[in-house]
Chains A and B, each alone.
Chain A
Amino acid sequence: MKNKTTAIIIDDETLARELIKKYIANHTNIEVISECSNGFEAIKKINEKKPDLIFLDIQMPKINGFEMLELLENPPVIIFTTAYDQYALKAFEVNAVDYLLKPFSQERFDEALNKAFHYLENKSLQENKLKGLVKLNDQKHDFLERIVVKDGQDISIIPLEKIRWIEAQDDYVMIHTLQKKFLKQKTMKYFEEHLNPKDFIRIHRSFIVAAKEIKKVELVEKETYQVVLEDRKTLPLSRTGYNKLKDFFK
């Protein structure tokens, strides 16, 4: 371990960042190496400086804190700082060590910092504890409103209405839009759970399709069907998928 823990503060509000710096100034074993006011900036800085710890706001311009985390390959230790209490469960799903509700005191801040130090020293121990916590609560989540992906050096925000279908691809999924396709490191199960089932249907082990894209269902041979999209592109349809579609269009 380095002699000082490095940290980046990510918050769109200058005063909020100032406050965290003040609180940190009372500790000698931690150093703020950068400050960012939005998610794009933060991704760049985190990849470049590889901090041990980030203080992360959730509500920020363009991409929110969670979307930013999805784009990091090896996220550092996270302490969320936000005025919104409804994201606490989601915060533990992404393995945050703590969740500070604004406004918070120096004492509460120190407590979070100690958790972070503890976590940095013996990762495995803490991880198990949090995993247990997450399992209890992971049935509840909101549906996604958009998907954020890394597109080479750029970051793309895909609105849900642009998505035509999603296809499994080893450890990734391929998101198809009219103009382009994007690779994202998530599971089919994740998208099945986080996309509104009113708009998206899992029609096959490897395919989720946007309901509005479906033109018809065709019989290929005995008992085997396929989905035909608006532009005549066809996708395979499994037996369970067929039943789901039947329920959907009932």
Chain B
Amino acid sequence: MQSNPILNKPRNFLSFVIVWLIITMAYVQILIFGEKINFTIALADGLIFNSLLAGFGLSFWYSARYISVELYSVPKILISHAIGGIISVSLWLCVGYFITSIFVSSSDDYSAFFLNNIGWRILVGILYYFLVISFYYLVIYYNNFHEKTLRENELKNLVTQAELKSLKFQINPHFIFNSLNSMSALTTIDSTKARSMILKLADFLRYTLVNNDRQKNKLSEELNNIKLYLEIEKIRFEDKFDFIEDVSPESRDELVPNMILQPLFENAIKHAVYESLEKVTLKFKSFIQNDFLNISLENNFDSSSGNKSGSGIGLNNIGDRLKLIYGLNNLMNVEKTESIFKVNLYIPLSK
């Protein structure tokens, strides 16, 4: 529940009191020098009526909060406040007059003065009522709006998190099973090689599984893991592909989203290496240009195999992930010719 915006912070209350002191002083001055009213009457009238007005103003908060715009219809609200205004103003005038009379010695003079300008007092009271109520409604509206935006942002954040989770790279089980099958064969053919392959697969899995909660890693770390993956594939398909890397020194330490390269390479291996009878060359390149880390992977492929290379979910996921993480479109594009397939990533620099 919201509390009175004037009372909820000492600073607000202090300014409220100061404003009212200034108003009261001005009011008393006008009565004494403008209207030539006796000093005691002017002071009593000014202090009592203005303190009452200030106090009432604080209590209007509850009527503004109770008669909520969201719960009641407009005519109902208007009628409620018309009645509220009349009651408040009448109460203010009656109580003010009664108390002031006690303090003032010549009550006849005072009642003459009071009756003389009662029209003004009613007008000021009603205006004041509506001004304060409007102010409160504005505060409530602003608070609600603020809270709503906060909640919306929180929700958006949650959705983004969930989406990122669903786009996260997942190890292709066939890669693992096929590798295990190769190791099973190697155990009798070349046990040293078998052990080395087991260790590589273990390192690859550890990096992939353990690092899964980290958002970003250095390009060099990601690339080292990719090399493990490629070395394992190389044991399976000895002469079917070559890997060439061209990584500029300053790009090595740049941060990239966790496992963002893996689907890139998997796509190339699956669509080019697995499908081709000839040797495939994978060319990896990274450099920094215009506040972006440019990454590309290029491979030749056999167009006659009739498969739709590059239309894979893996690649789409990369684009979607980059968009979610960096809030920018077009951070990935694909170039395809008769025999060359190239994916470019543009990653905003973290500094």
Contact with A along B301-319 (1 / 0, CB 8 A): 0101111100000000000
Q: How far is the CA of A158 from the CA of B237 in the complex (A)?
A: 27
Q: How far is the CA of A220 from the CA of B173 in the complex (A)?
A: 56
Tell me the count of chain B residues lying within 8 A, CB to CB, of chain A.
Answer: 27
Contact with B along A31-60 (1 / 0, CB 8 A): 000000010000000000000000000011
Q: How far is the CA of A61 from the CA of B273 in the complex (A)?
A: 8
Task: Specify the main secondary structure of chain B where it touches its partner.
Answer: helix
Contact with A along B205-246 (1 / 0, CB 8 A): 000000000000000000000000000000111100000000
In the complex, residue of chain A having the shortest beta-carbon distance to the beta carbon of B183: A103
Known: A145-B308, A157-B305, A158-B306. A13 touches B237 (CB 8 A): yes
In the complex, chain B residues whose CB is within 8 Å of the CB of A88: none
In the complex, chain A residues whose CB is within 8 Å of the CB of B275: 61-62
B274 to chain A, nearest CB (A): 6
| A83 near B178: Cβ-Cβ < 8 Å | yes
Known: A146-B307, A157-B306. A38 touches B185 (CB 8 A): no
| A103 near B180: Cβ-Cβ < 8 Å | yes
| B189 near A61: Cβ-Cβ < 8 Å | no
| Interface bin, chain A | 20 to 34
| A16 near B277: Cβ-Cβ < 8 Å | no
B311 to chain A, nearest CB (A): 11
A120 to chain B, nearest CB (A): 26
Known: A22-B185, A146-B306. A102 touches B236 (CB 8 A): no
Query: Can you spell out 26 A-B residue pairs with CB atoms less than 8 angstroms apart?
Result: A12-B237, A12-B274, A14-B238, A15-B181, A15-B235, A18-B189, A19-B181, A19-B185, A22-B189, A59-B174, A61-B274, A61-B275, A61-B277, A61-B305, A62-B277, A62-B305, A83-B174, A84-B174, A101-B177, A102-B177, A102-B180, A103-B177, A103-B184, A145-B306, A146-B306, A157-B306
By a beta-carbon cutoff of 8 Å, the part of chain B in contact with chain A is: 173-174, 177-178, 180-186, 188-189, 235-238, 274-277, 302, 304-308
By a beta-carbon cutoff of 8 Å, the part of chain A in contact with chain B is: 12-16, 18-19, 22, 38, 59-62, 83-84, 101-104, 145-146, 157-159
